Amino acid sequence: MENVFAAGGNCLCYRPQKPNELLNRKRRPLSTINGNRRAFLRGSFLNREGRAQEKARQQPLGPPPPWHRDLQLDKYCFNCAHPCITACEPAIILLHPSEHEMTGLPYLDFSTSGCTFCKACVEACPIEIDASGAVLPEIGQAVVNHETCIAWHEIICQSCIGICEFEAITSTYMRNPVVNSDLCNGCGMCIKYCPLDSLTVISASR
């Protein structure tokens, strides 16, 4: 079959619009375009570096507080005085900064400590949350970056082995650290022990 685009550039299904059709065509107000579409439109005008920055701007900087995982935080947190931040003793709750797509929403930052599951953020929060269940929520999963972890490159390092109170980090017979995904709940306590930032917590999917 003949390629209609190659042969003269005119698609057979194209019907020129009359001027009054063009004038009557309704424009969607900008406010009805949702965030994803806005982000897509913004991304389509960017070069590769700009697109990478845009992607980073949209990525959450960390998981939400443990019992808030299944809530739509953008419905609640924008107009809140964020008492969860001061209630959290290890001080791991931060807000996404102003230039971020999720500005004003809380996330967990594990660079200095991890979550103790103390529930202080639940008690301080105006949202009614049932945190009475016996099973701890899963924040995410710790993963070891085999590229940067020196123990995976035949240099002895035991910094993260044995510090996990859930016994989720063990070592192979070659002394390489591995995370047992059945035992890890993503509390983030191990992150600060790695001298090479080779541990990360991947947020649990909703």
Binding site for ligand SF4 (CB under 6 A): 65-66, 68, 73, 76-77, 80, 82-84, 87-88, 90, 92-93, 106, 108, 114-121, 124-127, 142, 164, 166, 168-169, 179, 184-190, 201
In angstroms, give the least distance from the CB of 43 to ligand SF4: 28
What is the distance between the alpha carbons of residues 98 and 104, in angstroms, rounded to a whole number?
A: 7
Q: Which is nearer to ligand SF4, 40 or 78 (CB)?
A: 78
Q: Which is nearer to ligand SF4, 17 or 103 (CB)?
A: 103
In angstroms, give the least distance from the CB of 34 to ligand SF4: 22
Looking at the DSSP bridge assignments, the partners of residue 143 are 200
Secondary structure of residue 172 in the 3-state scheme: coil
Q: Which is nearer to ligand SF4, 106 or 151 (CB)?
A: 106
In angstroms, give the least distance from the CB of 192 to ligand SF4: 10
Tokens of 111: 């660079």
What are the C-alpha distances in Å from 113 to residues 55, 85, 150?
27, 14, 22
In angstroms, give the least distance from the CB of 119 to ligand SF4: 5
Q: Which is nearer to ligand SF4, 159 or 185 (CB)?
A: 185
DSSP string, 93-157: EEE--TTSTTTT-EEE--SS-------HHHHH-SS------SSPP--EEEEE-TTT-GGGGT---
